[in-house]
Structures are given as C-alpha cells and as structure tokens.
C-alpha cells in the first residue's frame, strides 16, 4: 500500500540522514600505534577548512620527513565538528588533528574528543598568545586542549567617502555611534550605519564580550550560565533602542540585499572582525579604497576593549595514536615565524600569535590600500580583546540567539530585545539541566 510505504519512507529518511553522518567519517584514522621512537615514520591526518592550508602544511612535510601530515579539507566549522563527534561516539574514524573554533572546544572536551596537550611541547607556546586567547584553549584550568591559530578581533569598518561627505567624525563611543547612525539615516532614509543581524550569533557574542560579558563559568563542580546579566542586557538594550528608533536596520547580514547595500552605499558601516577585508572585497569589490577601519566604539573610553568574532585553534583528538608528534606539528604551525607568515599569505587568516602577527602583517590588504596603517589599528584591537568563557552547549545558545533575536528584530522594540536575552538564558540553562550537567 502506497501510504504505508510513504510513511515508513519518512522514518527511513530521517534515519538515513542520521546514518550518513556516521558513514561519512570513515576517512583517515592513524594506523600507527603510539609512537615513542623519534626516528619512526608517523602519518598524521588533519581535518581543516582554512583555504590553502595544505600549502602551509607542505612546508612542514618538506622539513619533517618523519612526521607526514595530510590535510583533509572540510566544508566548514560546523560539519567538521559534527563528523568528529560522530567518530568519537563510534570509537574510530577521527583524524589526529582538527581545526576547532574556540566556541566548540568545551563541547568537544565534554564529549571526550580532545587529547590533553599539557604534557607536550605545546604548553611552551603559552607566551606567544594573548592571555584571553590562551584561556579559551585551557578553559581556565590546568589542561590544554588546543593551540590557538587565528582570532577575529572586532573593529569598526566605515565608508570614509560617505563620512566625509556628511561631515561625520569617527565614533569612539557607543553614544557617538548612535548619534552618527541618526545623522546617516536622516541624510538618506534608505541608508543605515549598520544592521542588527539575528543570523550571526558570533557577532553578537563579540559585542557582549566587549561589554564585559562571559556567558559560561565553572563554579566548583557546577556550570553557571550568565547570559541574562548586565553586560549582555546593556548591549541588547542599546541595539534594541536603535532598531526601535529606526536608525539602525533590522535585516540579517550575508543576504543578497545586504551585499547590494554594501555596494551601493546604503550600508555605511560594518562592525566586523580582522577578516573583514576578505568579505568586503568579495561582496563589495567595487567599493575598494572607499572603506577604512577604526577601533570599536567604546562603552568606557578609559578602558578600551573589544571582542572576538570567529577564530579557531588546532586540536589533537582523543583517538590520535601520536599525540606528541601531532602536538609538535600544531605548535610549529601556529608559532613558527615561517609557518605564521605562510598562514597569513596563503591562508589569509589573522594569526593569534602576537609576534607572528606583528612581523607577518606589515602591508595593508589590497582592499584597504588607502589606509597604510590598517594592521596597526587591528593589531591594537587584538591586544584589547577581553576574556570570554564558552560552555558545553554553545550550539544550543547560538541557535537560541537566532530564533529569539529574529523575533526581537522583527518586533523592533527595546523590550523585545531584552526578552530575547532572557529567552537565550532560559533555553541554554534548560538544555544543560536536561542533559544532566550540574548547573548553579
């Protein structure tokens, strides 16, 4: 009977989708047993998605014939992590190394997917990185779960030509940002200084981080969730107010409409991260030379701060048989001057390594050839990134951000924005409790 066929097909399709995730992880287990002899040849697999990373790894392979690394190109941060978690559940199929975004580390640690590197060479790289970045790979404890690779310190990008035409000064505080937003919108009712995007949880997290938020914390042997607290509420209320007045747009970023607005000058600014030049040159190539970067507007000018939007690390998985060799490679990749230079030049990332960033990033990106001191501004921002801790269910909190703030952005009221923060907190805490985490 057709209907019963269709019905079971629905169940099967859902099940098949789950199975596919399991089946697609077959590639790349290290077959070598735990290696102690330094002269024995070691094969390492590395799941990563940064562009052209294999070319950087080639440099390592040339110099280290005994430790050969093969890059296995991934679609992106989320699918790679889903695959890794499936492999860990299955007991085999994980690579030796994986590119992991900072916010994914607690989830991976909770699933016992990462090896502790505190007993390897990697612990000596501590001084190469800003403290806030180091905290996110140690989770504030004694263990070390990854070596930082790149960061996304946030800064304010703006159309210098339009600012000049309107006689606007660069906003240094959020108060001035609001005033500038009003002037931009008053001059042209279709133009906005920026938009509040419900699609980009990482963006909002960076802004909350700047205001001093840190959403998760380990409190003895319990987790605490601190989303619905003063810093995040302040940020949400501020943006809710701007959207309610109508002087900031409420449409998501990364849509065809947003791209068009970047191109035709209807989006006059963008609060973004160090990697923005790549996006701008791709999405609004015609506006090259018209943009400039400035530090983020501040809540307290006396204590300049910024947040991170994006950034990732190199972690060794719990299934690796060659933790020491993998850790040596991860340290080299992210702190060796030659490797960092290659990461900047061919992979186009903003390195987490402080010294490496300084020496590798000297010339402004081509899109910003009008601003020779581009990396001075971004470098200063990178030094002012405040500390932020992630928890074991960032995925749930980010998903709650999407749904809660979509509603708020649509409602266009300050109170809806504050409700959204409360909603995020609720969903995140409920999820932790449901799974059995101790929550304070």
Partner 1 sequence: MAATATAPTKAEKTASAGPGTPRKARNFRQRAMTPYAMLTPGIVLFLVFMAAPIAYTLVLSFQQKKVSGLGLGKGAQSTVFAGFDNYIRSLTDPEFTASVLRVLTYGAILIPLMLGFALLFALLLDSRRTRAGNFSRTAIFLPYAVPAVISSLLWGFLYLPGVSPFHFVADRLGIALPSLLNPDLITFAIANIALWGGVGFNMIVMYTSLKAVPQEIYEAAKLDGASEIQTALRIKIPIIAPSVVMTALFSMIATLQVFAEPTTLRPLANSLSTSWSPLMLVYRDAFTRNDIYSAAATSIIIALATFAISFLFLRIVQKRAFGQEN
Compute the CA torsion angle 394, 157, 154, 256 (nearest 10 deg).
20
Stretch that binds partner 1, among 25-33, 37-45, 413-421, 430-438 (CB under 8 A): 430-438
Which backbone phi and psi does 85 adopt, to 5 degrees?
-60, -40
Should residue 321 be labelled a site residue for partner 1 when binding is judged by CB under 8 A?
no
Should residue 23 be labelled a site residue for partner 1 when binding is judged by CB under 8 A?
no
Do residues 391 and 216 make contact, with C-beta atoms less than 8 angstroms apart? Answer: yes
DSSP 8-state symbol, 84: H
Burial of residue 217, with CB atoms counted within 10 A of its CB: 0-12 exposed, 13-18 middle, 19 or more buried: middle
Q: DSSP readout, 391-439? A: -TTHHHHHHHHHHHHHHHHHHT-HHHHHHHHHHHHHHHHHHHHHHT--B
Figure out which of the listed residues 68, 183, 341, 407 binds partner 1, where binding follows CB under 8 A: 407
Least spacing, CB of residue 431 vs partner 1, in Å: 7
Least spacing, CB of residue 383 vs partner 1, in Å: 30
Site for partner 1 in 346-375 (CB under 8 A): none
Should residue 7 be labelled a site residue for partner 1 when binding is judged by CB under 8 A?
yes
Look up tokens 């109508």; give the residue.
246
Least spacing, CB of residue 50 vs partner 1, in Å: 22
State the Cα–Cα distance between residues 314 and 337, nearest whole angstrom: 17
Bridge partners for 269 per DSSP:
158
Figure out which of the listed residues 255, 359, 362, 383 binds partner 1, where binding follows CB under 8 A: 255
State the Cα–Cα distance between residues 110 and 125, nearest whole angstrom: 24
Should residue 109 be labelled a site residue for partner 1 when binding is judged by CB under 8 A?
yes
Report angle CA 383, 386, 387 to the nearest 5 degrees.
125
Cβ distance to partner 1 smaller for residue 357 or 394: 394
Stretch that binds partner 1, among 92-100, 121-129, 257-265, 382-390 (CB under 8 A): 257-265
Should residue 409 be labelled a site residue for partner 1 when binding is judged by CB under 8 A?
yes
Figure out which of the listed residues 42, 67, 85, 378 binds partner 1, where binding follows CB under 8 A: 85
Should residue 403 be labelled a site residue for partner 1 when binding is judged by CB under 8 A?
yes
Stretch that binds partner 1, among 167-175, 287-295, 366-374, 400-408 (CB under 8 A): 400-408
Residues contacting residue 205 through CB under 8 Å, at least 6 positions apart = 103, 215, 307, 309, 388, 398
What is the CA 198 to chain-centroid distance, rounded?
16
Should residue 11 be labelled a site residue for partner 1 when binding is judged by CB under 8 A?
yes
Least spacing, CB of residue 128 vs partner 1, in Å: 25
Least spacing, CB of residue 391 vs partner 1, in Å: 10
Do residues 226 and 215 make contact, with C-beta atoms less than 8 angstroms apart? Answer: yes
Least spacing, CB of residue 392 vs partner 1, in Å: 6
Cβ distance to partner 1 smaller for residue 27 or 89: 89
Q: Where do contacts with partner 1 occur on this chain (CB under 8 A)? A: 2-4, 6-8, 10-12, 14-19, 21, 82, 85, 106-107, 109-112, 139, 198-199, 218, 221-223, 250-252, 254-258, 260-261, 266, 392-393, 395-396, 399, 402-403, 406-407, 409-410, 431, 435-438
């Amino acid at each position: 009977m057709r209907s019963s066929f269709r019905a079971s097909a629905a169940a099967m399709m859902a099940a098949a989708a789950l199975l596919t995730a399991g089946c697609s992880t077959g590639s790349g287990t290290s077959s070598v047993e735990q290696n102690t002899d330094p002269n024995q040849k070691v094969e390492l697999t590395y799941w990563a998605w940064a562009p052209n990373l294999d070319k950087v790894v080639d440099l390592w392979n040339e110099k280290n014939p005994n430790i050969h690394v093969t890059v296995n190109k991934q679609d992106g941060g989320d699918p790679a992590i889903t695959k890794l978690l499936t492999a860990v559940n299955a007991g085999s199929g994980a690579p030796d190394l994986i590119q992991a975004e900072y916010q994914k580390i607690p989830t991976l640690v909770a699933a016992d997917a990462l090896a502790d590197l505190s007993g390897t060479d990697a612990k000596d790289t501590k001084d190469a990185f800003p403290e806030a970045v180091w905290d996110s790979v140690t989770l504030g404890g004694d263990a070390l779960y990854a070596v930082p690779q790149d960061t996304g310190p946030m800064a304010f990008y703006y159309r210098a030509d339009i600012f000049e035409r309107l006689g606007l000064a660069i906003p240094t505080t959020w108060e001035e940002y609001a005033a500038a937003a009003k002037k931009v919108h008053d001059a042209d009712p279709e133009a906005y200084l920026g938009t509040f995007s419900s699609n980009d949880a990482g963006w909002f997290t960076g802004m909350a981080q700047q205001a001093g938020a840190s959403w998760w914390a380990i409190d003895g042997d319990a987790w605490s969730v601190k989303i619905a607290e003063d810093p995040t509420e302040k940020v949400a209320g501020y943006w809710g107010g701007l959207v309610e007045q109508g002087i900031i747009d409420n449409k998501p970023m990364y849509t065809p409409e947003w791209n068009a607005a970047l191109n035709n000058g209807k989006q006059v600014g963008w609060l973004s991260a160090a990697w923005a030049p790549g996006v701008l040159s791709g999405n609004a190539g015609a506006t090259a030379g018209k943009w400039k970067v400035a530090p983020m507007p501040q809540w307290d000018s006396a204590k300049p701060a910024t947040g991170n939007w994006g950034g990732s690390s190199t972690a060794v998985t719990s299934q690796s048989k060659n933790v020491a060799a993998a850790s040596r490679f991860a340290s080299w990749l992210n702190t060796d001057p030659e490797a960092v230079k290659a990461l900047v030049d061919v992979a186009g990332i903003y390195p987490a390594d402080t010294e490496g960033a300084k020496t590798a990033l000297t010339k402004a990106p081509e899109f910003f050839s009008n601003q020779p001191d581009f990396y001075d501004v971004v470098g200063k921002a990178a030094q002012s990134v405040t500390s932020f801790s992630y928890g074991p269910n960032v995925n749930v909190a980010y998903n709650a951000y999407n749904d809660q703030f979509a509603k708020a952005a649509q409602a266009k009221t300050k109170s809806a924005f504050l409700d959204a923060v409360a909603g995020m907190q609720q969903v995140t805490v409920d999820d932790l409790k449901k799974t059995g985490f101790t929550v304070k």
